[in-house]
Every structure is written in C-alpha cells, then in structure tokens.
Amino acid sequence: MAPHSPLSRWAGRTVATQLQFHLHLDDPRLPEQRIHLTGDREQLEALQQAVTTYVQELLNQSPAQFNAQLAQTTATESTTGADSVVIAPANSIDSSPFSLQQIFLKSSRGLSHALCLGSLATPVTGPVVQLSVLQLFDLATALDEYEADIVALPSLNRRSRVSATPPAWATIAAGLTLAVGVFAVLQQLNRPAQQQITSNQITEDPQQVAAQPSPLPPLSSLDTLPPPPPEGSPVPVPATPLPAIPVPNAVPPTPAVTAPQPGSQQASPPTGASDAPAIAVPSPLAQLNTPNPRSQATIQAQPTAAPQSASPAPAAPQQQAANNTTTAAVRSPSAPPAPSEPTSLDNISQVGEARQFFQRRWEPTAAVRQPLEYSLVLDVDGTIQRIEPLNQAARDQIDRTGMPLIGEPFVSPISDGKVARIRVVLTPDGKVQTFLEDREAPQVSRDPRENAP
C-alpha cells in the first residue's frame, strides 16, 4: 500500500508519494559523532516549517534580545522534546502534519540553537541536537532549496496556508545531496515498483484537471519571483512523468578556499573546540528512476529528455548552484505570462540554437491544443538555469516538449558572460519560435563549478 499524501484529501484522488530524506549532521566539535536523521516528506515539511519560522523569529529579535541570549551561559538543553508522538499509519489519509509539530527549535547556550527532533529523534541522536549558527543557516538554506524545487515544478499546487502543500511528486525521482560543512541532506524518492491504489479513491476525472490560467504577476519592478501557481486549483496528476527536478546543490563557499580579506589576519588557532567547519565536497546524486505510473490512463512513460551525459560522477559539482538565488533577484520585471513581442535586444546565437534544439525534438500530440510557452534562463555555460512555464498547458505538457533538464547541455556557452532569458513557443502545428527576452547580469552567487578542476 503506497502511502497517500495529504494532497489526497483535496485533490480528489490518491497521490502516492514516497519521499525520504536523509540528513547528516557533522558537528566539528564532535568529529567522531555523525548524526543521521531520516524521515518522510511530512516530517521534512514539519522540519522546514519549524526552521523557517525559527529563523524569522531570530531575525526579528532586537539587538537587546540578541544580547540577552548571548549572555545566557547555561545550556537549556532539556529532554522535554522526547518523542512521545505516535505517527499515524502511512496509509491513513488523515495523517496530518500536526502530529509532527513536535519538531521545533529554541535558543541554546550562547549562539547555538537546540533542534528538538520530535518524531525524527532516534536512540542515537537523542531528542535534541545542538546546532551552531552556520549549521542552522545551512539547514535553512537546504530546506529553502527543497521548497524552491517544489515550487519550480509544473502542476504543483500550494495552499496559502501555513504549511506548504506537497505537489504531485508521484512520478519524480530525484536525489539531492547537500554537504555544507555540517549537513548533507539527501532526499530520494523511491517509487514503489507497483503502486496499488484503492479503486474507490481514484477518480480520474478530467474535469478536475481543468487548466486554470496562472495569475498575472504584478509587474512592478520589484517583482522578482516567478508567479505562484493558482491557489486551490486541482492538481493534475500527470500520467506521464514530470520532468526531473533540478537538484540544487547549494554549497556555500568554503572558507578554506577564500583569499584572506585584506587587513584581516588569521584568527587565533582553534583550540580544538569549534573550528570553522570543514566543507565536505558534495557528491551530487541525481537518480532518475524511470517511473511507470499505473494509472487508468496508461501512457508510455518515457523520459523525453534523456540525459546526454551520464549522471555526474560523485565529487563532480552539480551543474547548478542555488539557481533561484541571484537570478531570482536580478530579474525585473518578470516575464508576463502572455506572448509579447520580443524586444530587439542584441540577439545572440543561442536563440537560434535553442530553436534548432526544439525543432529536432518537438512533436506535438493531440493533447496539445494551444501554444506552449516557456521562459528559459540560460546560464553563461549554455545550460538551462531555470524553466518557467508561462501557461497552464505548458506546465502540464512540459514532459512532452523535449525540454532539457536543468544543467544539461543545451546550447553553446554565451560569450559575453551574461545570463540570457529566452522565450520558447511550441505550437500545436509543430512550429518552434524562440526569441531573446532579456539579458541579465551574470550570476554572482557562488557556483561550485568555479572550483571544478
């Protein structure tokens, strides 16, 4: 019995999901002790909620409150966070994240923070794990990445409630390894070989999958994020696999490779107590299990974008760093989700290359009744950095477009070192149009590739 996601309650169908995440905590102060946490998506989301809220509380503190905490010398490690919660059976539709609310954080001695593991606690970890500021930051960043990836997926859905609603992950397999000195977060989706769905819960009603237009994002010059998906609209459960999720690998810059700032000297040698964390080399793991969902509409599930190169070898940095970092902030205004005349900016050869790329791959099916429009952000190395479907159809059909995966070879590198945004229009009669939308400043966020040999 595959576990149902909470989505089932309101999507009117069962969405089987199995997401597991693994979290490794390396504490420089306890080099011999490596903490390993494992959980499912609900726990991951509870953790994310707890961390996000806690970080915001931390930032909202006044300097006086901050100081009071810093002056606190007694460790407030308590064992009240012991796990007394009974997790509802996985196949219970009503297993709500509320039973997992015991995951929370509180301030601890000095600058450190206590992560009360609640249901994530194991006999090895105990109920509470101490986190340094950097550990907390890396954890928060990793969880933000996770959330951003969910948001980046097509046919996702989010309620504007406190808890993030999980999207239809059912047919996605992705691995994420994040080694940030202290954390390695590894999320993996293991699809059951055979997904059994109780017949009374699967109502493949195409009406429920009525496409809704995306809301127009506000066109203020400060609109820096892609428009959120419509709230409360039904989630189309894909009969074909969704594109693989971009697997971000946000490796914050390692202090070890930085050139010393002028005027700064080395700090006093560490007394072995808490040295600056050593940054582990990430070993990205992008597993793409080809899913074969057994839904009523049996469509051959074939990943259209077969990776042209083998999945990156371990220790090769992931192709994309936190891509919704700078570029998200650099973009302005966001592309309106309506076709518009391209501004005749300095055209670049990559636009033509992209057109040829899709011309080779684009074969419309009967399901395509309107043009599919995408806004793609090209990284300077010619790979895709972001994929933004601009209409619902584009979201739903993305897996049939031949869209390359994020970070996959796509077009030639951009010679002037500027990020480019191109619009791709795929029409039902098989035509492909591409044009340049925008040139952007190069990314300033650290890219692990810089350190690649």
Site for another protein in 111-140 (CB under 8 A): 111-112, 132-134, 137, 140
Options 19-27, 165-173, 266-274, 307-315: segment touching another protein (CB under 8 A): 266-274
Options 297-305, 320-328, 371-379, 429-437: segment touching another protein (CB under 8 A): 320-328
Regarding 84 and contact with another protein (CB under 8 A), the answer is no
Give me the helices (H) in 243-372, please. Answer: 326-330, 349-361
Q: Is 104 helix (H, G, I), strand (E, B) or coil?
A: strand
Residue 350, judged by CB atoms within 10 A of its CB (0-12, 13-18, 19+), counts as buried
Residue 48 main-chain phi, psi, to 5 deg? -60, -45
Residues 274-293 touching another protein, rule: CB under 8 A, are 274-277
Residues 44-73 touching another protein, rule: CB under 8 A, are 49, 52-64, 66-67, 70
For the bound state, the minimum distance from the C-beta of residue 194 to another protein, rounded and expressed in Å, comes to 35
Q: Which residues in 125-247 belong to E strands, given as ranges?
A: 128-131, 175-179, 183-189
Residue 168 structure tokens = 């239809």
Regarding 230 and contact with another protein (CB under 8 A), the answer is no
Regarding 145 and contact with another protein (CB under 8 A), the answer is yes
Residue 179's identity, in one-letter code, is: A
In this chain, which of 19, 139, 164, 178 binds another protein, going by CB under 8 A? 164
C-alpha count within 13 angstroms, C-beta hemisphere, residue 380: 13
In this chain, which of 33, 196, 212, 220 binds another protein, going by CB under 8 A? 220
For the bound state, the minimum distance from the C-beta of residue 435 to another protein, rounded and expressed in Å, comes to 20
For the bound state, the minimum distance from the C-beta of residue 163 to another protein, rounded and expressed in Å, comes to 9
Residues 325-364 touching another protein, rule: CB under 8 A, are 325-326, 328-330, 332-333
Torsion of CA 253, 256, 260, 261, to 10 degrees: 30
Q: Which residues in 41-182 belong to E strands, given as ranges?
A: 104-107, 113-116, 128-131, 175-179
Q: Are 77 and 22 contacting, i.e. CB atoms less than 8 angstroms apart?
A: no
Residue 22 main-chain phi, psi, to 5 deg? -125, 135
For the bound state, the minimum distance from the C-beta of residue 331 to another protein, rounded and expressed in Å, comes to 8
Residues 243-262 touching another protein, rule: CB under 8 A, are 250, 252-253, 255, 258, 261-262
Residues 422-451 touching another protein, rule: CB under 8 A, are 441, 444-446
Task: Give the H/E segment covering residue 422.
Answer: strand 419-426
Residue 224's identity, in one-letter code, is: T
DSSP-assigned beta bridge partners for residue 440: 419
Length of the chain: 453
For the bound state, the minimum distance from the C-beta of residue 136 to another protein, rounded and expressed in Å, comes to 9
Mark 377-406 with x for binding to another protein (rule: CB under 8 A) and - for no binding. ------------------------------
For the bound state, the minimum distance from the C-beta of residue 341 to another protein, rounded and expressed in Å, comes to 19
